[in-house]
Amino acid sequence: MTNVHTTASSAAPRTQDGEDYRLSLPNTARSAGVARHFVASLLTGPAHRAIVDDARLCVTEVVANAHLHTRTSLIRVHVTVGREQVTVSVADDAPWTAPMAGGTSVRPRPGTAQECGRGLILLEQLALAWGSDVCGCCTPSHKAVWFTLAGTAETAA
C-alpha cells in the first residue's frame, strides 16, 4: 500500500538519478537533529542552496514523528541527491502508523491551538511531492515517509 500526495507535478519524484546516502539512527530525541545536520551537509551544490532550509525542516519533522509515534529501535534516513531534486525517505519499523497524505485528519481545525499534525502540513507546503510506503509485501515490516524538494530554475542552472 502506498499513499502519495503531490503538491505539484507527479512526474516520478522518487525515480531520479543521483547519489544515494544512508544513515541509521537510534530512536532517541537527538535523532531529528542528527538527521537535520546529515541532510544539510549533503546539499552543498548551487542547485540545492535554495532548498537546504526546507530540507532541514522537513527531515526534522519526519524523524521527530518516527521518534514520537513509534517504538522502532532504528530510524533509517535515505537521501538521493539529484542534479535539481533531493528525495529524503525516513523509515521505521511501524508499518501501520503511516500518515495520511493530504488527508483532512492531519489538518488543525481553524481557530484551535492544536499541537499535532502541523509537520505534515509543512511537508505539503514545502515539498514538490510526498507520501508514505508500507513495505514488506504480505507481511508488512516497515514504512517509509518520503518527500522530494526541487531547486528553482534560477538556482539549478
Q: Check which CATH number belongs to the domain holding 107 and give it.
A: 3.30.565.10
The three state secondary structure string of 69-122 is HCCCCEEEEEEEECCCEEEEEEEECCCCCCCCCCCHHHCCCCCCCCCCCHHHHH
Domain span including residue 146: 2-156
Compute CA 112 distance to the chain's CA centroid, rounded to the nearest angstrom. Answer: 26
What per-residue confidence (pLDDT) applies to 73?
92
What per-residue confidence (pLDDT) applies to 156?
41
Over the chain (157 residues), what is each successive 10-residue block's mean pLDDT? 41 64 96 98 90 96 92 94 93 67 43 60 91 69 87 50
CA–CA gap between residue 154 and residue 46 (Å, rounded): 10
Q: Are 31 and 38 in contact (CB under 8 A)?
A: no
Beta bridge partner(s), residue 92: 143
Crossing angle of the two packed helices 31-42 and 52-69, in degrees rounded to 10? 150
Number of domains making up the chain: 1
